[in-house]
Every structure is written in structure tokens, then in C-alpha cells.
Amino acid sequence: MMKEGRPRVLTRPQEIQAAVKAYRADGLTTGVVPTMGALHEGHISLVKAANAACDITIATIFVNPAQFAPTEDLATYPRTLTTDLEMLASNDVDLVFVPANAEMYPDGFSTYVEPPAVAKRWEGESRPGFFRGVATVVLKLFHLIPTDMAFFGQKDFQQALVIRRMVEDLNVPIEIRTQPTVREADGLAMSSRNRYLSQPEREQSLALSRGLAMARSMAEGGERSGKAMVDGVRRVLTEAGIHAIDYVAVADPETLEPVAEVTGPVVVLIAARVGTTRLIDNAVVGPAVS
């Protein structure tokens, strides 16, 4: 059901902070869904989780320059504000914060968050500076939007862990909730960057979810070698013609350190380029419990 006059769209930091404080002063619980726009059903699942858990749902749309390397797609990152706002309106969002770059990073801005240890490997190695940019903007958003809860997708497994650790380490009084990855019917994890894929690339990209399914059946079938699982997933990718693999990892889901012997749940992480589009995916798998 669409709420009358909703969502309110605010662009100034002072306005959003005052609005959130006012909700909380009225005794209402609030949840935020931080996004970079180009919304899809994955984002909407976070909105629905916020709607279910909180009285007031807030979304943010900000393509954060601090998390893009100079070689990455900041200039061409999809910007679809009108449809984003329509999607948020039809999913009961109360407030949307859409700041300009100059509001978030005014002249003279020079303070950044040093991300936690879980940021070092995988995305941290492939995209130097990425988690510094993510942690900085998310902490800024948490100060501007002092909510009860914040919602992130498991599709960005390492990002969710980095944010969780940052919040614990820096005593940010916001509960972090992570929601399951939303997939297309054929298994492709939803991502704003999927729209870059041509039809043949779209088919090739299904190798990521197939690789994860293979890792799951290896673990459940009794495979204990992390390396054998990594090799198995890499084979699925290369057989599909995906050779630009940033990493395939079998790692501890809490520390993200590589696991040599699989004795419990592990996270399988993949990052690979299909054509010019960089995709990531992951799954938590482990030995079958009898």
C-alpha cells in the first residue's frame, strides 16, 4: 500500500538528521537501507525487511565517489533516480535521503575510516581503497541517520561483515541486519551492474551461481579440502569462458581467512569479470549435518 505523500525526499544532511530524530522522539522505530540507487528486487527485499521490523523506513541513494578507484565505473554507474523513487514509493518507504556530492564531501573533507581487519583480503586486495570509502560513507550516513537498524544484502558478504565490525569496534548504536541474496529465476544474483551484461555475457555469468552450487555439493558430499573446492569452482568458471577471475576463496565466515580443511560452515566467495562487467557472488556452505 502506498502511503499518502510518501516518500519525503530530503537532500540536506541537517534535514534528514532532524527528521530521524523527530521520529525517534515520537517513539517510532526507524530502519535505514543505504543504496547507490539503480534499485532492483535485492534492494526491495531490504526495504521489506525494514518495513517488517521498524515503524519508519528510510532509504538513501548516493553514488559514493570515495569507494570507486579512478579506473572504475563511477562516471557510468547507472543513475535511475525517477524509477528508484517510484519503486521506493510503492514499497512504503517514508523518507529518502539523496545528498549531492558536495553535501557529503564538502571542500576540505579529509577524514576517512580505516576499515577493520576483515577488509584486508579479497575485495580489499582487488579494489584497494574500496572499503575505506564504504566504511567512511556508511559511518557518515549512520551519524546523519541515527536509526535503530540498518539493512544490508548478503550478496556483498564482505561489505556486510566490514560494516558489522566497524559498528562493533566504534560503538555505533545501530543494529545491523543482513538479508539473503535475491536471485533471478536462473540463479544470477541481482546486482545493479547486471544491466551492463550483453545476452551472451548474461548466460556466461550463470557460471558464478553454478560454481557456488558445485561447492555446496562438494562440501555436503564430504569434500574437506578448501583447495579442492576452490579448484572446482575455478573449473566451472573457466569452462564457461570466464578467465578474468579476481579470486575464488573458501574462507571462514567470521574472519574471512582462507580455510584449508573444511570442518564446519565456510563462505565461498567469487569475483570475476564477464566481458567488462565485474561480478561478485557468494554462498555459505558446509558439511551436511546428519
Report the catalytic residues.
43
Indicate the residue among 134 and 212 with the shorter CB distance to ligand PAF: 134
* Nearest partner of 162 among 201, 142, 136, judged by Cα: 136
**Binding of ligand PAF at residue 58 (CB under 6 A)?**
no
- Decide if 2 contacts 92 (C-beta within 8 A): yes
Indicate the residue among 193 and 224 with the shorter CB distance to ligand PAF: 193
CB of 285 to ligand PAF, least distance (A): 23
**Binding of ligand PAF at residue 64 (CB under 6 A)?**
yes
**Binding of ligand PAF at residue 208 (CB under 6 A)?**
no
Instruction: Kindly report the length of the chain.
Output: 290
Indicate the residue among 35 and 282 with the shorter CB distance to ligand PAF: 35
Query: With the CA atoms of 150, 155, 161 and 164 taken in that order, what torsion angle do they form, in degrees rounded to the nearest 10?
Result: 0
- Decide if 155 contacts 181 (C-beta within 8 A): yes
Measured N-to-C along each axis, helices 226-239 and 206-220 cross at an angle, to the nearest 10 degrees, of 150
Only one of the segments 13-21, 30-38, 75-83, 212-220 lies at the binding site for ligand PAF (rule: CB under 6 A); that segment is: 30-38
Sheet with 175-179, strands from edge to edge, namely 8-10, 95-97, 56-61, 30-35, 149-153, 175-179
- Decide if 177 contacts 49 (C-beta within 8 A): yes
**Binding of ligand PAF at residue 251 (CB under 6 A)?**
no
Q: Quick one: cell of 286?
A: 558446509
Residue numbers 2-21 binding ligand PAF by CB under 6 A: none
**Binding of ligand PAF at residue 93 (CB under 6 A)?**
no
Indicate the residue among 133 and 226 with the shorter CB distance to ligand PAF: 133
Indicate the residue among 99 and 232 with the shorter CB distance to ligand PAF: 99
CB of 136 to ligand PAF, least distance (A): 9
Residue numbers 107-166 binding ligand PAF by CB under 6 A: 134, 137-138, 156, 159
Q: Which residues 6+ apart lie within 8 Å of 268 measured at CB?
A: 211, 212, 215, 216, 229, 233, 248, 249, 250, 251, 282, 283, 284, 285
CB of 252 to ligand PAF, least distance (A): 22
CB of 56 to ligand PAF, least distance (A): 19
CB of 58 to ligand PAF, least distance (A): 13
How many angstroms separate the CA atoms of 50 and 36, rounded?
Answer: 17
Binding site for ligand PAF (CB under 6 A): 34-36, 64, 67, 134, 137-138, 156, 159
